[in-house]
Amino acid sequence: MFPLAKNALSRLQVRNIQQTMARQSHQKRTPDFHDKYGNAVLATGATFCIAMWTYVATQIGIQWNLSPVGRVTPKEWREE
């Protein structure tokens, strides 16, 4: 009897979820803050982040040492 009751309960829950989704899809919703300003806030934040990292990378005097070519010289060969 338990599996039968469990099956019936799960079908009721699925049906309730489907009805709720159908009701919500027909309602017109008003745009909220994220709909109005979300992309602008994202673009502003990304621009600020890029600008700050560009400033840090170019102005605080880090020596990056990207290539050792011309700076590294081989030691003299010693024959023993």
Q: Pull the structure tokens for residue 41.
A: 């806030």
Encode pLDDT of 8-19 as tens digits.
556 656 677 767
Q: What is the pLDDT of residues 42-78, one digit of tens each?
A: 999 999 999 999 998 888 877 776 776 777 777 888 8
Q: What is the pLDDT of residue 2?
A: 66
CATH number of the structural domain 33-59: 4.10.51.10
60: which DSSP letter?
A: S
DSSP designation for 70 = T
Alpha-carbon span 32 to 16, nearest angstrom: 27
Q: 0.85 cut: is pTM over it?
A: no
Residue-level pLDDT at 52? 96
